Structure 1
């Protein structure tokens, strides 16, 4: 029986992964469609907008290449987020060597916010404020170390349990908790410095 003959939404990840391991590219296409937005959103929060398309493509390319070696197929989503974290970490390590570009990006975001606020008389105030806070949070995330950014993105923004975050990052749950505490504190301080009252 062809698994893909069913409604694609009813096919489990496990069934799709097993088909992929037999070389079925159509099953991988369905997995890609199922996870592309989540992976993209996670990469954006971890790495920003720069090279986002390339990073997303890298995650799924590595997933396709590594799928034959995946033993615990029922943990596909955790395994995929692990690849996502590795790609983000590699990107962050490379970017760390060029801190000036990150600072220039943050300054550019601030200038953009100031320009947007100057034009706010022509825009709906609520919508502009929401964009302003989203940009501020993104800037605040970029100010955190990659380790701290990862836990706050996965736990607070992607709603993953601490145990799963620990599995994805290959660290103890206690380390997730301590990094989460520090990351929230640093993000809160950043937002307060930008004039956001919490």
Structure 2
């Protein structure tokens, strides 16, 4: 119940901010600052850089507030902006390969042998968790008849026949609903990119 109240409160503040009320945006910023800071800090692992990226995140959020879609949580949208800003920053800063040997001189010139860095990468882990969260929210937003078949098929690994038996509908209807549910999910997830 608390999550619904928070979402409604955010939506009211967003509407006010879009109407030009600076105080509403400042309230949103204050309300979510600490959580967003910790998301960024977890990715960049540097307090000064995290503070800079926090400012950048809120500037981007304010600049694109009109693109926010209320059917998704504001915090998810804000986390995505923070994560993308942090990941972009790391990409610009970091070289993703490690040289194993000194350059080799050949008759064709200098050759370096480089392999990608396969060490644990918190940004990849974070992005993966955000994707799962986005997918689950998209599934939750489906109409019940589509949500049920997707959950049975993809989360509970039920066969078409088992789903038909559980729901008391023909197998053809199950297949049609799964097809339609996947199409709806593609549209909803595409809008999050």
Q: TM-score, normalised by structure 2?
A: 0.49
Q: Which is higher, the Rg of structure 1 or of structure 2?
A: 2
Higher strand share: 2
Q: TM-score, normalised by structure 1?
A: 0.48
Question: Could you say which structure has the greater relative contact order, defined with CA pairs below 8 angstroms and 6 or more residues apart?
Answer: 1
